[in-house]
C-alpha cells in the first residue's frame, strides 16, 4: 500500500466532527427513496485518482446522496455528472459518467478531492469543520507535492480552505491571499492554482458555469500541469 492509499484509508475512519458524523450516518440509514435498495457508504469520502497526479481538483464536500452513498468523490450526483463529463471531454477521464465506485472510471494524471471529506447538512460545512478537516488536505498535498503542478479549486469555499492548506504544506502563498474568481490563476513555486465556479446545480442550471467554461479551465490547467493527451 502506498502512502496515499494509507492516507485515504485513514480518512475513511475519521470521526473528528460530531455533527458531520451524525449527519452522514443518519443519511446512510434513512436514504433517499430512489436509492432505498442500496447500502450507503456513510463515511468520509477520500480523494480519487492516481498517487502521482499532476493535476488536483479540489471541490467542497461530498453530497449526501452522491459521494456519501457511493464512497467516491463526485460520484452519483448531478455535480459529478458535469465534472466527469468535462474531464472525459478534455481527455482526462476514461468515461463520461461516474455512477459507482466499481464502474471502471479511471482518471489520467488527475486526482479529485475535497477540503471537507464528510457530507454536510445543506452542503454547508461550518468554518470549524473546514479547519478540522484541513489537516487531511495538508497531508494529501504533501504526498502529491513531488508530482502535482496545477490545482483547480471549485468555488470560494474550496478556495478559502485550499490556500491556507497549501501554505501549511510548504508553498509560499502571497499575503494577503488572492481572492477567489472564476478564471483566476495564481502562480506559486512550481504550482499553478486556478479558480473555477463550483459544478453545483445552482451554477450549472443557471448557466453561471457552462460546460465550455469548465472545459476551458480544465484544459488550461492540464496544460500547466504538463498533461497532454
Ligand atoms: S469532515 Fe474531515 S475531519 Fe471532519 S469527520 Fe469528516 S473526515 Fe474527519
Written as nine digits, the cell of 173 is 502563498
Span 72-80, average pLDDT = 97
Q: Is the pLDDT of residue 6 over 70?
A: yes
Tens of pLDDT, residue by residue over 145-166, are 999 999 999 999 999 999 999 9
Q: Grade residue 228 by pLDDT with cuts at 50, 70 and 90.
A: confident
Q: Is the pLDDT of residue 229 over 70?
A: no
In the chain, the percentage of residues whose pLDDT exceeds 90 is: 98
Q: Is the pLDDT of residue 121 over 70?
A: yes
Phi, psi of 150, deg, nearest 5: -150, 150
Q: What is the end-to-end Cα distance of the chain in Å, rounded?
A: 28
Distance CA 25, CA 118 (A): 10
Q: How high is the pLDDT of residue 180?
A: 98
Q: Verify whether ligand 1 is closer than 6 Å to residue 166 (CB atom).
A: no
Indicate the average pLDDT of the chain.
97
From the CA of 221, how far away is ligand 1's center (Å)?
A: 28
Neighbour count for residue 228 (Cβ, 10 Å): 8
**Looking at ligand 1, which atom is closest to the CA of residue 125?**
1
Q: Is the pLDDT of residue 111 over 90?
A: yes
DSSP H helical segments within the chain, as ranges?
3-11, 18-30, 67-70, 78-89, 127-144, 156-168, 201-204, 211-224
Q: How high is the pLDDT of residue 1?
A: 67
Span 119-144, average pLDDT = 96
Distances (CA, A) of 181 to 124, 153, 185, 198, 205: 20, 10, 9, 11, 19
From the CA of 133, how far away is ligand 1's center (Å)?
A: 5
For residue 45, give the nearest of 60, 30, 62, 32 by alpha carbon: 62
Q: How high is the pLDDT of residue 181?
A: 98
Neighbour count for residue 86 (Cβ, 10 Å): 23
For residue 65, give the nearest of 18, 33, 96, 19 by alpha carbon: 33
Q: How high is the pLDDT of residue 97?
A: 97
Q: Verify whether ligand 1 is closer than 6 Å to residue 118 (CB atom).
A: yes
Tens of pLDDT, residue by residue over 169-215, are 999 999 999 999 999 999 999 999 999 999 999 999 999 999 999 99
Written as nine digits, the cell of 228 is 497532454
In the chain, the percentage of residues whose pLDDT exceeds 70 is: 99
Q: Verify whether ligand 1 is closer than 6 Å to residue 116 (CB atom).
A: yes
Written as nine digits, the cell of 22 is 451524525
**Looking at ligand 1, which atom is closest to the CA of residue 24?**
6
Tens of pLDDT, residue by residue over 34-49, are 999 999 999 999 999 9
Q: Verify whether ligand 1 is closer than 6 Å to residue 101 (CB atom).
A: no
181's CB contacts (< 8 A; 6+ apart) are: 195
Phi, psi of 128, deg, nearest 5: -65, -40
Span 65-90, average pLDDT = 97
Q: How high is the pLDDT of residue 132?
A: 97
216's CB contacts (< 8 A; 6+ apart) are: none
Amino acid at each position: 500500500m502506498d502512502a496515499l492509499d494509507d492516507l485515504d484509508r485513514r480518512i475513511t475512519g475519521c470521526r473528528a466532527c460530531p455533527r458531520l458524523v451524525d449527519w452522514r450516518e443518519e443519511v446512510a440509514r434513512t436514504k433517499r427513496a430512489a436509492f432505498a435498495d442500496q447500502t450507503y457508504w456513510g463515511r468520509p469520502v477520500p480523494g480519487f485518482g492516481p498517487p502521482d497526479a499532476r493535476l488536483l481538483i479540489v471541490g467542497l464536500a461530498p453530497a449526501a446522496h452522491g459521494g456519501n452513498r457511493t464512497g467516491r468523490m463526485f460520484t452519483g450526483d448531478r455535480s459529478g455528472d458535469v465534472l466527469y463529463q468535462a474531464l472525459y471531454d478534455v481527455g482526462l477521464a476514461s468515461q463520461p459518467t461516474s455512477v459507482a465506485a466499481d464502474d471502471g472510471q479511471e482518471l489520467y494524471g488527475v486526482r479529485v478531492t475535497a477540503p471537507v471529506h464528510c457530507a454536510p447538512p445543506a452542503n454547508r460545512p461550518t468554518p470549524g469543520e473546514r479547519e478540522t478537516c484541513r489537516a487531511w488536505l495538508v497531508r494529501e498535498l504533501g504526498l502529491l507535492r513531488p508530482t502535482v503542478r496545477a490545482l483547480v479549486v471549485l468555488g470560494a469555499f474550496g478556495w478559502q480552505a485550499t490556500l491556507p492548506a497549501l501554505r501549511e504544506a510548504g508553498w509560499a502563498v502571497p499575503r494577503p491571499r488572492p481572492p477567489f474568481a472564476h478564471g483566476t490563476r495564481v502562480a506559486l513555486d512550481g504550482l499553478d492554482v486556478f479558480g473555477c465556479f463550483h459544478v453545483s446545480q445552482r451554477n450549472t442550471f443557471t448557466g453561471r458555469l457552462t460546460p465550455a467554461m469548465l472545459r476551458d479551465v480544465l484544459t488550461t490547467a492540464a496544460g500547466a500541469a504538463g498533461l497532454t493527451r
